[in-house]
Structure 1
Amino acid sequence: MNLYSEFYVSEKSERFVNKIWCLDNSIGETLIENKLILPNGCFNLAIVSGRSIEVHTSKKKYLMTEGLYFCSQMTNKVLVNIQPETKVTITQLHPWTLSMFPKYDLSNFTDAILKIDPTELPFDDEIDYRLNSSISDLLNVINTYFEELDALHPSKNTIEKICEIIRLHEEEISISEIGKIINLSQRSLQIKFQAATGLTIKKYIQLLKFRKSVDQMVHMSQEKLSLTDVALYNKYFDQSHFIKKFKDVTKTTPKMFNPDFYFLSKKR
């Protein structure tokens, strides 16, 4: 059994879904405790099967029993304890995906988890909560819905355009520059982005830089990068600036960071 595994959606669905990942202690006999998850700039739709998982965000402790949960943007590391006979399957949504549904205002919704009724989901097929549920069945449900959404909305909306501009400029772009490209005022940009993601544009850019830095550090032995290299490559002012920002999220320094304590994305 792999405690952590990743699965990928179809090419068209990838416009809205980054990946599906699974924390599987379904045949385990002991509690998996004190494992950590880092923020990544995405939303998560979590299916808890079996007993329960305990999640500690920077704001609150959540006991997630069997059911469906919407997880907001996280701005700090999250600690999880997974009971035996428990599996958590998580669909990771890009930051702009929720902006396709304008009725949701997420301005003040970060570092939080909300249990939701399955009837609130837009999918045509029901989600299977059983411990032995097939990931291929979930992939079919997700792909069917998001491929149709892609066909219905061929043009990018404002939030998707903002995120694309940030990505293409490798996070190093000012809000005023983004506004000029999209032809919107800085104030309008900020209001729209925060309502759709819960984050300011600046905070989103910081999270992207942080995760890129962590990914490089995890593979540092192969790439032979020093902390200074990582800091400068990701446009931090210097190593001290990088260490400070790193501690803001992880509460530890880069040198004390131990990847074995974390559920980290696989290198694709």
Structure 2
Amino acid sequence: MNLYSEHYVSQKTERFVNKIWCLNNSIGESLIENKLVLPNGCFNLAIVSGNSIQVHTSKQKYEMDEGFYFCSQMTNKVLVNIQTKTKVTIIQLHASTLSMFPKYDLSNFTDAIIKVDANELPFPTKIETDLHSDISALLNTINSYFEELNTSHPDKNIVEKICEKIKINNEEITVLGIGKSLEVSQRLLQIKFKIATGLTIKKYIQILKFRKSVDQMVNSDLDKLSLTDVALYNKYFDQSHFIKKFKDVTKTTPKMFNSDSYFLSKKR
């Protein structure tokens, strides 16, 4: 059984959910420790089954026993320890998804995790925390809920439109450019985005660029692809600028980066 696995949602659900991924130590005989997770511009709904995991963000250490947890946007690497007989299933929500629920003000909620009551979850079907629960049942529940949400909310709100503009422009657009394109003031864009995500638009773009550069490094042969190539491809000013931004998040240099220490996305 693989410790890390990815599972993909339906095309309509992809508007709201990036993917579902699992960290599975349910049959392991030893603690999985000092594994790392990088920021990716998403929120996570984590389902802990079995014993517990420990998560160290840049702000706090969390002991997460069986249950449901909402994980905010992360701006730095996160350290994870997974106890034996434990599985963590993570629903990765796009940055704009929580903006569909305007009662949530997340403007001051980053690098943090809170436990949530199962009754607070919006899904009509109960999600199991059983250690050996079938991922297909969870996929059916998630797809059913978000496909219905897609039908009931056909129009994109301002936060979703901001994210769309950033994606279309490959993270090479300014707040001024987004404002002109959407014909909305920069101030209103910033306020709406910060309330919905906890990040400034600039910080969100920086995180997306960083993850894209890491994925490129991991999925390429760095002996053939220089750091300068990676930096320029991802529109950093130069190699030094790229290295500085890389160290801000990982606390190490690209050359010293050990991908085996991280849970990284699979190449689709």
- TM-score for both structures, normalised by structure 1: 0.99
* Partner in structure 2 of residue 217 of structure 1: 217
| Cα distance per residue 1:171-209 (max 9 Å; x no partner) | 111101111111111111000000000000000000000
Residue 224 (structure 1) shift: 3.2
Distance, in Å, in 2 between the alignment partners of 1:34 and 1:231 is 28
| Cα distance per residue 1:64-83 (max 9 Å; x no partner) | 00000000000000000000
* Partner in structure 2 of residue 172 of structure 1: 172
Distance, in Å, in 2 between the alignment partners of 1:234 and 1:87 is 35
Show the 5 A alignment for 1:1-268: 1-221=1-221, 224-268=224-268
Partner of 1:73, secondary structure, is: coil
Equivalent residues of 1:213, 1:230 under 8 A apart: yes
Partner of 1:263, secondary structure, is: coil
Distance, in Å, in 1 between the alignment partners of 2:89 and 2:170 is 30
Overall identity of the aligned pairs, in %: 77
Distance, in Å, in 2 between the alignment partners of 1:130 and 1:193 is 36
Partner of 1:81, secondary structure, is: strand
| Cα distance per residue 1:103-147 (max 9 Å; x no partner) | 000000000000000111110000111000000000010000000
Partner of 2:202, secondary structure, is: helix
Distance, in Å, in 1 between the alignment partners of 2:171 and 2:11 is 24
Equivalent residues of 1:220, 1:226 under 8 A apart: no
Equivalent residues of 1:21, 1:89 under 8 A apart: yes
Aligned pairs, number: 268
Which ranges of structure 1 fall in alignment gaps of 5 or more residues? none
Distance, in Å, in 1 between the alignment partners of 2:244 and 2:177 is 27
Distance, in Å, in 1 between the alignment partners of 2:19 and 2:39 is 15
Which ranges of structure 2 fall in alignment gaps of 5 or more residues? none
Distance, in Å, in 2 between the alignment partners of 1:99 and 1:17 is 13
| Cα distance per residue 1:142-173 (max 9 Å; x no partner) | 00000000000111111110001011111111
| Cα distance per residue 1:37-70 (max 9 Å; x no partner) | 0000000000000000000000000000000000
Partner of 1:221, secondary structure, is: coil
Residue 223 (structure 1) shift: 9.3
Distance, in Å, in 1 between the alignment partners of 2:259 and 2:218 is 7
Distance, in Å, in 2 between the alignment partners of 1:17 and 1:53 is 23
Distance, in Å, in 1 between the alignment partners of 2:177 and 2:46 is 36
Consecutive aligned runs of 4 or more in structure 1 exceeding 3 Å deviation: none
Letter in 2 for 1:256: M
Letter in 1 for 2:81: N
Distance, in Å, in 2 between the alignment partners of 1:121 and 1:54 is 23
Distance, in Å, in 2 between the alignment partners of 1:120 and 1:182 is 34
Distance, in Å, in 2 between the alignment partners of 1:122 and 1:228 is 46
RMSD: 0.9
Distance 1:124 1:77, change over 3 A: same
Letter in 2 for 1:54: Q
Partner of 1:90, secondary structure, is: strand
Residue 222 (structure 1) shift: 8.1
